[in-house]
Copies of this chain bind each other. A is one copy, B any other.
Amino acid sequence: MLTIRRLSIEDARTLIAGARAKAEEIGVPMCIAIADESGQLIAFERMDGGKITSTIIAQDKAYTAAGAKRTTESYGSASQPGSPAYGINSAIGGRLMVVAGGLPVIVDGDVVGAIGLSSGTPAQDTQCAQAGIDHFLASRA
């Protein structure tokens, strides 16, 4: 039997709060998704004005970051033409996201879930996702 650590809904709210604060600060309404360590959705918020397409993309970024235990951005470089993971972006029915904005949430070395943002530029999505994680880790300190 294995013992797994996983984000709670309270943790998910904290992650969203941190990401949302940054999104408001930069003035970009975001879709924010939190997945557990198995890639299953725990919480989701679409800020007023967040993009419809991003409701799916944010979830899939969180799914990918949790399931593959790496940032979606890292897949972006690994899947460029000529690179080893080229073509992986269409895997799992297209759910495997290689666009930046999905980050695993790591506690004591374990991936316990992930956060996925979408609606801004990939750089903005990543910035807000990181802000969510920073806020979450600070709340645990």
**Which of B4, B38, B64 lies in contact with A5, CB distance below 8 A?**
B4
Interface residues of A (CB under 8 A from B): 1-9, 11-12, 36, 38-48, 51-57, 60, 63-64, 66-69, 75-76, 79-82, 84-94, 96-100, 107, 112, 121-123
B39 lies within 8 A of A36 (CB): no
B40 lies within 8 A of A38 (CB): yes
When all copies of this chain in the complex are counted, the total is 4
Q: Say whether chain A's binding surface is mostly helix, strand, loop, or mixed.
A: mixed
Q: Look across to chain B and name the residue whose beta carbon is closest to the beta carbon of A13.
A: B45
Known contacts A38-B36, A64-B53, A67-B52, A121 near B84 by CB under 8 Å: yes
A79 CA / B100 CA spacing, docked (Å): 12
